[in-house]
Amino acid sequence: MKVYLDLVFFINFFFDFIILLATKLVVKEVVPLWRIFLGSLFASGSIFLLFLSLSNLRLFLIKFVISVGIILITFGRRNFLTDFIYFYLISIILGGFLYLFDISFTYKNEGVLFFDQGLGLNLVAILVLSPVFLYFYVREYKKNKAKISNIYTVEIYVNKKMYRLKGMLDTGNQLKDPCTGKSVILVSCDIPISMSKYFYVPYKALNTEGIIPCCKVDRVIVDDVVFSKCLLGKSKEKFSLGGVDCILPNQFKEEL
């Protein structure tokens, strides 16, 4: 039996790439494409397991370690468990789709018996249909999740630099600059955003009050909606809201 390593490697890389890309879109991680590329490249190296004589248990453990490596390379450690779970869920969903497609076209049934009718899946059909299927899955998932979630991809432009963050719309964030009336986007203290020129804005929250350093922004883009009349404020605490980097003001709700 001939095994074309280049073809097997390409197919593995292709599926790993679209699965990681779909995972990124579902969990709304801020990840550049080059990291998805590296994760897919690392995952494709698993084809060399074909040449090793391993027990089922050892093979499972090695695949598990490889999966951990894929997530760490692509997404990092910040939301590891969530990324890991969705990576496997999307893999299972895609695998189930391909299996159903294969059964539908490769076999015919008579009652409860299935017979191979010799019509195998075309590789081109698999490569075309897989991303199409994942596209519609991710689109519907995000559409349904958007109804119950207020998580957005946020691009903040400050001093000619762009920061891509994960933001949450908080209806309780009514913070405004009393002088200009501009709403304030709160950013977690662990996000390295340079604020060379800043001023202080007073705030009140529950039984506490104080001042928070703020700066002007060139513009803010939230899911393709542009905001310019707002400020950027640096929180004194690190957010622990499922990987959220910033909290958007309630005033953004009308346009999102």
Spell out the domains of the chain, with CATH numbers in brackets: 5-148 (no CATH), 151-255 (2.40.70.10)
CB 62 within 8 A of CB 199: no
Tell me which residue of 98, 217, 231 sits closest to 177, measured CA to CA: 231
Give the pLDDT of residue 112: 42
pLDDT along the chain (256 residues), means of 10: 64 82 81 87 77 73 85 86 86 74 56 47 61 72 61 88 88 84 90 85 78 90 87 86 83 77
Give the pLDDT of residue 125: 58
- DSSP string computed for the chain: ----HHHHHHHHHHHHHHHHHHHHHHHT----HHHHHHHHHHHHGGGGGGGS---HHHHHHHHHHHHHHHHHHHH-STTHHHHHHHHHHHHHHHHHHHHHHHHHHHEEEETTEEEE-S-PPPHHHHHHHHHHHHHHHHHHHHHHHHHH--EEEEEEEETTEEEEEEEEE-TT---B-TTT--EEEEE-TTS----SS-EEEEEEETTEEEEEEEEE-SEEEETTEEE-SEEEEE-SS---SSS--EEE-GGGGGG-
Q: How many CB atoms lie within 10 A of CB 200?
A: 12
CB 231 within 8 A of CB 182: yes
CB 175 within 8 A of CB 233: yes
Give the pLDDT of residue 6: 66
Give the pLDDT of residue 12: 78
Give the pLDDT of residue 232: 92
Give the pLDDT of residue 168: 86
